[in-house]
Structure 1
Amino acid sequence: MTSIHPTAIVDPAAALDESVSVGPYAVIGPHVRVGAGTTIGAHAVIEGRTTIGRDNRIFPFCALGAVPQDKKYAGEPTELVIGDANTIREFCTFNVGTAQDAGVTRIGSDNWIMAYVHVAHDCQVGDHTILANNATLAGHVHLGDWVFIGGLTGIHQFVKIGAHAMAGFASAVSQDVPPFMTVDGNPLAVRGFNVEGLRRRGFGPRRIAAVKQMHRLLYRSGKTFEEARREITELADSVPEAAADVAVMTAFLAGVTRGIVR
């Protein structure tokens, strides 16, 4: 049977797998769905139309599924969807989406989300990310897979950060960050590319060399954005091993809305 502490308040309409554990004084609302093996810590509040997958660890005092911090929100039936095997540490706040976007705030799987992280309405967070303490995602932010966000870093509304990118401690991210790049500071600047992270994920020398060339074209060659985009596209033919990486970069650059940090 589901392990629910006697002091927890769980709405009878909530759907919790029989293997879910709920700690003391937690509060779970009627539209919440929680998958197998997930643990919910003491004093956590999970409300709204929130769906949580399998094997998540939700630590004490989290507030998940509250209404957006958006004055336009008028009670629409929007959602928060969280995948599997995430670690969500103390005092995190994740809001549901808004009708002005897709209506869903989405967290992927296998993410390591540290204390006091805020994920605002309509954010889309991929898989295998790390968000360090007090990282703050404003509304409509998109993070790709394997992104690392340093502690005390703030990300502006509608910013996109590409896969394998890294933002350092206490950065102010107000423009899109292309995949693989390493940025930090206020004002934000590109410091290089995430070579150590790529090595840890099994990127071989040819793939890393291709990423280095993409960095050079965007940031060291003096070319315009469009010139760099064209030459990056051509890398897929000259380095077939990196074709998928080139595709990730070209797709990202085609969808830039706020301009890239340069």
Structure 2
Amino acid sequence: MLELTFDLVLILLAAGFAAGFIDSIAGGGGLITVPALMLAGVPPAQALATNKVQGAFGAATAAVSYAAKGLVDPRRQWKAALLAGLGGVLGAGLVTYLPTEALRLGLPVILIGIAIFFAVKPGLNDLDRTQRMAPALFAALIVPMVGFYDGLIGPGAGSFYMIAFVTLAGYGVLKATAHTKLLNLFSNLGGLLTFALIGQPLWLLGIMMGVAQIAGAALGARLAARVGSRLIKPLLVVTSTVLAARLLWEML
């Protein structure tokens, strides 16, 4: 049984705050919280389940913050959000049946590719560009695919939503970030719904970290809305690269 000492709680709260800040801007908050939970002695399956609990708080805060700034209209995105949630439910439900370790082998390459894309691609700013996929097709195909991945594996889902909005929907970097958060929230909730049945999340710890996530996400979303792509792009490059490095380290 996990013993929550005062020092341990402070460390996990700090991890939640940092994850909320990073995730609200560039995604990848799980890069901080999942290792922190496991280092605290939480078993891997419970760490993933508990991460879904606290991550929902940060994603919700970021989504509300971006909506308040007028960068996303939830009334126009709710159908896509439900599809993301459905994808999250299915992904988490199949986590014990699909070869997730094999799927992880290709993730570092994909994440490094995303980092390179945002680092070197010219003209990536907050202005919209050519749309390459109709909104209805994007919502019906891309959104549930990423939601499924979020429930099945998780790390990097925000980056996948982000690059899809930029390359296929033609959104500017800030607008893509804002639209990512509501989808991320629902795919997270979908995964949580399943994990609540099979993963036994530590609810109290998850809620405590979630409160810290709220503070970090509110600060991160405020800064991102103010600075835009000049903040989002370098942070996205860094988080994608670090996540790829972490996955490679785990494999080795």
- TM-score category of the 2 structures, normalised to the smaller one: under 0.3
- Which has the larger Rg? 1
More strand by share: 1
Higher relative contact order (CA 8 A, sep 6+): 2
